[in-house]
Amino acid sequence: MLHDPPSKPERSFEIVARRIAAMIQANYRIGQRLPAERDLAKTFGVSRPTVREAILSLAMAGMLKVRSNSGVYVISRQEAPDVHALEGFGPFENLEARQLIEPQIAAIAAQRGTEATFAQLAEALAMMRWEHAQGREADTSDHRFHMVLAEATGNGTLVSISDSLWRAQTESGIWQEIHNHMRMEDYRPMWRRDHEAIFEAVQARNPRKASLAMTRHLTNIRDALMEASNAKSMATTKAPANAPKKVR
């Protein structure tokens, strides 16, 4: 029997954003402060990163304002349809999926990788170092590095999953918003060290180390995004070079 294709999966930030919006409409005035993130997480039974995504999405939609050191305030009680229009999954939701899959991919790559794999990883790393030295982001070489690992498994399904996880990350509107507030140069040495550790473990054919190094890399990304999206960072760092608000 043929099944209808699954409808677009609901994003966790969107579900929580809708509940926060309903709470605001029922109980909050303009100018009032929202409860702390950890309290909202408890109220809605979700993780703090998910609440963070929901708050950012409502801020991007013009319902909330994040103020440095003092919290999140209601600036509009209008429903925020723009939340639905935001592109892609939340970055933390996406990173959780990467955490489940990519450490395993790194471990398999350590077992099945060939000399060609090692050469391609080394090339991607060299490219990353060069781009960083030019003061540029190394998105292409970073993507390439993760794809070489997936290809080394010899499993086409894993290659396809890896690629879609990467795209889900870069296409995420919330991810892009956080990036606008990050001083990327502060993080580059860590990204290089992370990838070097993965490379060394894969080349040494040590699956356990490769898996741990990948876990550490993804945890570092999550921590960096949490740090860059806290109230202080979002309220005080450079505003995006007036990126036009995404129109549906």
Residue whose CB is less far from Zn ion, 142 or 177: 142
Residue whose CB is less far from Zn ion, 167 or 232: 167
- Token pair belonging to 44: 């809605």
- CB of 147: closest distance to Zn ion in angstroms? 11
Residue whose CB is less far from Zn ion, 79 or 131: 131
CB neighbour list of residue 229: distance below 8 Å, 6 or more residues apart: 52, 56, 178, 181
Position with the least CB separation from Zn ion = 142
Q: Which residues pair with 65 in a beta bridge?
A: 73
- Token pair belonging to 82: 């723009």
Residue whose CB is less far from Zn ion, 74 or 91: 91
Coil vs helix vs strand at 56 = helix
Residue whose CB is less far from Zn ion, 178 or 234: 178
CB neighbour list of residue 76: distance below 8 Å, 6 or more residues apart: 30, 62, 63
177 binds Zn ion (CB under 5 A): no
- CB of 138: closest distance to Zn ion in angstroms? 9
In 3D space, the residue among 170, 172, 166 whose CA is nearest the CA of residue 56 turns out to be 172
- CB of 102: closest distance to Zn ion in angstroms? 9
> What torsion, rounded to 10 degrees, do the Cα atoms 96, 101, 107, 109 define?
-130
- Binding-residue pattern over the window 90 to 129 for Zn ion, x denoting contact by CB under 5 A: ----------------------------------------
Residues, the chain, total? 248
- CB of 228: closest distance to Zn ion in angstroms? 16
Query: Hey, what amino acid is at 14?
Result: E
- Binding-residue pattern over the window 133 to 172 for Zn ion, x denoting contact by CB under 5 A: ---------x------------------------------
**Hey, CA dihedral for 56, 59, 64, 68, is it positive or negative?**
positive
41-80 positions binding Zn ion, by CB under 5 A: none
- CB of 10: closest distance to Zn ion in angstroms? 27
Site size toward Zn ion, by CB under 5 A: 1
- CB of 150: closest distance to Zn ion in angstroms? 12
Residue whose CB is less far from Zn ion, 93 or 142: 142
Helix/strand/coil (H, E, C) string of 115-130?
Answer: HHHHHHHHHHHHHHHH
Tell me the Ramachandran region of residue 8: left when phi exceeds 0, alpha when psi lies from -120 to 50, beta otherwise: beta
- Site residues (CB under 5 A) for Zn ion? 142
